[in-house]
């Protein structure tokens, strides 16, 4: 996607892309009930914990899922990152469907695997006395999240170069 240096054209292309991307991401994040996915994330994290010799038990009360004493909520699943990338991948113009499917599949699987590893790691940090929960959960999760999102941007751009092209065109338009 070559948008040149025309600021108005870049702005229009950005609006055509960002509007649908945001709408899709918000709908995908807020509309579905993610109980099934919260349970899957909890079960997968419990499995990893058990592989490294930790107790990991998943249980539910109503629509709430717990891994040991920790509640697995929508925001714990990484589905927000999946929703944002889905919105971007669907909304970027002129990309073949097969490339969209491959890029989204890689992003979704990577987010899922990274997230269940993050949950097991944070609980291990707490249970082994390395960090209190206040440090194991938020700062550690944030750092791992930033690294993961950076990797996902590179991976998505590899399969759909138009993502990087649009980003660079927008940045170039602000510099000129």
**Domain range list for the chain:** 7-34+75-175
The conformation of residue 65, written as its DSSP 8-state character, comes to E
Q: In angstroms, rounded to a whole number, what is the distance separating the alpha carbons of residues 54 and 49?
A: 5
The yes-or-no verdict on residue 155 having pLDDT over 60 is yes
* Predicted confidence (pLDDT) at residue 113 exceeds the cutoff of 90: yes
Q: Counting Cβ atoms within 10 Å, is residue 129 exposed (0-12), middle (13-18) or buried (19+)?
A: exposed
End-to-end CA distance of the chain: 18
Q: What is the largest CA-CA distance in the chain?
A: 58
Binned at pLDDT 50, 70 and 90, residue 57 comes out as very high
pTM: 0.83
117: Cβ–Cβ under 8 A, 6 or more apart, which residues? 48
């Amino acid at each position: 996607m070559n948008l040149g240096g025309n600021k108005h054209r870049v702005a229009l292309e950005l609006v055509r892309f960002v509007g649908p991307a945001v709408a899709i991401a918000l709908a995908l994040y807020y509309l579905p009930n993610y109980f099934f996915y919260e349970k899957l994330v909890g079960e997968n994290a419990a499995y990893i914990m058990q592989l490294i010799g930790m107790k990991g038990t998943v249980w539910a009360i109503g629509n709430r899922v717990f891994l040991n004493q920790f509640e697995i909520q929508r925001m714990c699943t990484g589905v927000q990152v999946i929703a944002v990338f889905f919105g971007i991948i669907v909304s970027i113009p002129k990309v073949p469907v097969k490339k969209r499917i491959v890029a989204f599949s890689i992003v979704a699987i990577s987010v899922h695997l990274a997230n269940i590893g993050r949950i097991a790691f944070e609980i291990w940090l707490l249970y082994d006395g390395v960090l209190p929960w206040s440090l194991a959960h938020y700062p550690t999760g944030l750092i791992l999240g930033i690294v993961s999102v950076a990797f996902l941007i590179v991976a998505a751009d590899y399969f759909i170069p138009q993502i990087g092209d649009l980003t660079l065109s927008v940045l170039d338009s602000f510099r000129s």
